[in-house]
Amino acid sequence: MAEQLWDSFARLNAGERFKKQSAEMGAAVTEAIVEEARVRTRPGAAAREFRVLDVACGSGEPSISIATLLKGTGEVVGVDMASAPLVVARDRASKRGLENVEYRQADVHALPFESESFDRVTSRLGIMFFGGLYQALNEMRRVLKPGGRIALLAWGAMEQPYFDTTIGTVRRMRPELEVPASAGEMFKFGVPGTLAGALREAGFAMAEDRVRKLRWDWHGSPEEMWDYFRGVTVPFRPLLEKVDGDAAVDGAVLSALRERFDGEWVRFEAEMVIATGVRA
């Protein structure tokens, strides 16, 4: 069921209408996790010596950015539990002429890789949805080489502009509606130290996390932004289905989004938690 839900998200997100805008919206977030992963080109290194695993890679980030940065001196493997986004990821990599990245369908709770086979593990906006958090972290630690680095990025607190203008507005209009438990999981690392503590408990050394404010801007109209949000934000789907076609709710959300619209972009500053650790 979970795979089907995320495949549904992937089909809409991969659609021609929103593909470019989605990539633009996530650009700063991708740059941040690549920076924290400390991936560097290695002149003279063997072609496949440096290996990176990108977990819950979705439609291809940050794996594509990392593969581009490595310039053929390493190998990047992206995995996701849903098949549809991997089709998009492969297409994007092919169009960029990247031969050092591959994509496989796999579950983070049972990664199909040998122990100590990767130098880096990354996951952008995926860690919040792993059903067995410590099993997933243990698997990511298992496949890291000693001294290998993990970099994770998650949403901060729900109380921030992107969600306040959308879900926050819906709930102010319809206060009887509750946030689904699955949606609440998105923000479980919003309290500083929570994700770093999980990394330490899973055996990572030098674990730390911090909140960063990053651009999360929508290149397009408020109407497109609201359509996109309703289509791709899978954990909020049970709530959003209850206000589908509610003109008053739609009007209130669009009014809130227009306050952030500069004529070209709907501007947000997102709060993201970035956590890193090292396999001792």
- 130-177 tens-digit pLDDT: 999 999 999 999 999 999 999 999 999 999 999 999 999 999 999 999
3-class secondary structure, 148: strand
CA-to-CA dists, residue 146 to 53, 138, 275, 280, angstroms: 15, 14, 18, 6
3-class secondary structure, 61: coil
Confirm if 241 and 183 have CB atoms less than 8 A apart: no
Confirm if 216 and 268 have CB atoms less than 8 A apart: yes
Is the peptide bond preceding residue 62 cis, with omega within 30 degrees of 0?
Answer: yes
Residue 11: band (very low, low, confident or very high) from pLDDT cuts 50, 70, 90: very low
The pTM of this model reads: 0.92
Question: Of residues 233 and 218, which shows the higher confidence score?
Answer: 218
Mean pLDDT, residues 44-67 taken together = 86
Q: What would the two tokens of residue 188 be?
A: 């479980």
**What pLDDT is recorded for position 1?**
44
Residue 85 corresponds to which amino acid? P
Q: Does pLDDT of 14 surpass 50?
A: no
Q: List the Cα angle 267/185/66 in 5-degree steps.
A: 60
Q: How far apart are CA 212 and CA 207, in angstroms?
A: 16
Mean pLDDT, residues 4-28 taken together = 69
Give the count of alpha carbons within 13 A of 31, CB side only: 11
Q: How far apart are CA 72 and CA 57, in angstroms?
A: 19
Taken in order of first residue, the domains within the chain and their CATH numbers are 2-279 (3.40.50.150)
